[in-house]
Amino acid sequence: MLILVANLGSTSFKYRLFRMEAGGGEVVAKGGYERVEDYGTVIDDALASLQRDGVISSPDEIDAVGFKTVLGKNLSGCVIADQSAIDALEGFAAVAPAHNPPYANGIRQFARSLPKARLVALFETAFYQWTSAASHSYAIPKAWRDIGIRRYGFHGASHKFIAERSAELCGREDVAETARRLYQDGPRQTGAKPFRVVSCHLGGSSSVTGILNGVAIGSSMGFSPQSGLPQNNRVGDLDSGAIPYAIRTLGIPFDEAERQLTKESGLLGISGISNDIRDVRAAAAAGHADAKLAIECLIHSIRHWLGAFMIELSGIDALVFTAGIGENGADIRAAVCDGLEGFGIQLDPVRNEACRAVEADIATGTSPARVLVIPANEELVLAREVFRKLSS
Ligand code: AMP
């Protein structure tokens, strides 16, 4: 099955074309465009270049297109990307303004350009469909809940891959199979012994997810991707009382407050240096106090959520690091694990230092919990889910 995975940003379009079969799949082509003004033009250009390069002889050969959609109003899961998916994206366009409008446009455009292909949307919220009401409800009036304000959780594709892969690496094939088939079969009874994972997706955007037997129990992210850990330039958790106070005291309009919280906060906001942790780390090493504070805030927040999920899970079998910072940041991993030996998390400092962006177990041989680094590959997750959906 030829599956094109479309990654649509507010001004970018990237794609990977996968050839998928039951045993796995491979990337057969990839490409992308920046500063996109008209999705229709670049999508048609991408299809023409695939033909020109001999990857396909006709666009009709592409069986399906997968979209990593973020947040839908009253819609989640791995679904056929039809008008109801477009309506759901547009219904929450104001909550995810950088993501939802491009995906709604992209789905419309692909429906025109590839009328024979099946279009599938995998919502980032899908992995959290089975969280308890207590974990996903905010203490707000009913009218607020009725318009869809609740915790959704994001990075679902990445954390679901961690649920599958960590179970495989820990010899829990029963859990791995439940996680793989989650969007087709829902949660299933697994072996008697629970398998408890805390997954840390640490990148430009970061979140921590608790996973029990292959199914998410909660996320550090809430209603929008604004919440949870400090992000590269987005705020993360903030007391709701701070926004009206800042607006009144600083005399700034609401839109400006929103812009500052979405563009000038997070690691950039605290450090005043950069939204890239490598620059912040270099400044901290040179003695910059706010850069040091930015890194400490990130570590503090990761440990806060790690602790919360370890209590909810009554322990931990695997702590996993993924995405740019999680895969490369040995210093951040060491700081997160510092002093947690008594909770069963025993990091091997040599293995940790040696591990850069490769799959590895970096715990000591005798550590009760495994500490794993698992590289993220969200496009592959999309291709796999689209393949499972259309084959089931
Ligand atoms: P991602 O969102 O997964 O692409 O991750 C992007 C983030 O990974 C950026 O903020 C980078 O600072 C971070 N990153 C990339 N390489 C490294 C590295 N060698 N050490 C620490 N962080 C890194």
Please check the confidence at residue 28 and state whether its pLDDT lies above 90: yes
Please tell me the distance from the alpha carbon of residue 54 to that of residue 38, in angstroms, as a whole number: 25
Please tell me the distance from the alpha carbon of residue 354 to that of residue 328, in angstroms, as a whole number: 10
> CB within 6 Å of ligand 1 — which residues?
203-204, 232, 276-278, 323-325, 328-329
Which percentage of the chain shows pLDDT scores above 90?
94
Look up residue 241 and give its DSSP letter.
T
Measured in Å, residue 356 CA sits from the centre of ligand 1 at 11
CA nearest ligand 1 atom 16, residue: 324
pLDDT the model gives residue 365: 98
Task: Pick the closest to residue 111 from 101, 102, 120, 98 (CA basis).
Answer: 120
pLDDT the model gives residue 232: 94
Beta bridge partner(s), residue 211: 197, 216
Please check the confidence at residue 9 and state whether its pLDDT lies above 90: no
Measured in Å, residue 376 CA sits from the centre of ligand 1 at 12
Residues 162/197, Cβ–Cβ less than 8 Å = yes
Q: What is the mean pLDDT of residues 189-211?
A: 93
Q: Which is the closest atom of ligand 1 to the Cα of 201? A: 3
Task: State the pairing for strand pair 2-8/64-67.
Answer: parallel
CA nearest ligand 1 atom 18, residue: 328
Measured in Å, residue 68 CA sits from the centre of ligand 1 at 21
Q: Which is the closest atom of ligand 1 to the Cα of 232? A: 10
353 Cβ partners below 8 Å, 6+ apart? Answer: 330
pLDDT the model gives residue 341: 98
Q: Please write the tens of the pLDDT for every residue from 312-343.
A: 999 999 999 999 999 999 999 999 999 999 99
Confidence of residue 98 (pLDDT cuts 50, 70, 90): confident
Residue predicted with more confidence, 218 or 22: 218
Please check the confidence at residue 216 and state whether its pLDDT lies above 90: yes
The domains found in the chain, sorted by start residue, are 2-122 (3.30.420.40), 170-378 (3.30.420.40)
pLDDT the model gives residue 23: 83
CA nearest ligand 1 atom 8, residue: 324
Please check the confidence at residue 392 and state whether its pLDDT lies above 90: no
Task: State the pairing for strand pair 196-201/207-212.
Answer: antiparallel
Please tell me the pTM assigned to this model: 0.96
Please tell me the distance from the alpha carbon of residue 205 to that of residue 70, in angstroms, as a whole number: 13
Measured in Å, residue 203 CA sits from the centre of ligand 1 at 5
Task: State the pairing for strand pair 196-201/78-80.
Answer: unpaired
Please check the confidence at residue 190 and state whether its pLDDT lies above 80: no
Measured in Å, residue 322 CA sits from the centre of ligand 1 at 10
Indicate if the alpha-carbon torsion angle 234, 238, 242, 243 is positive or negative. positive
* Sheet strands side by side (includes 118-122): 24-33, 13-21, 2-8, 64-67, 118-122, 78-80
Q: What is the mean pLDDT of residues 197-212?
A: 97
Please tell me the distance from the alpha carbon of residue 337 to that of residue 347, in angstroms, as a whole number: 7
Indicate the SS3 state at residue 254: helix
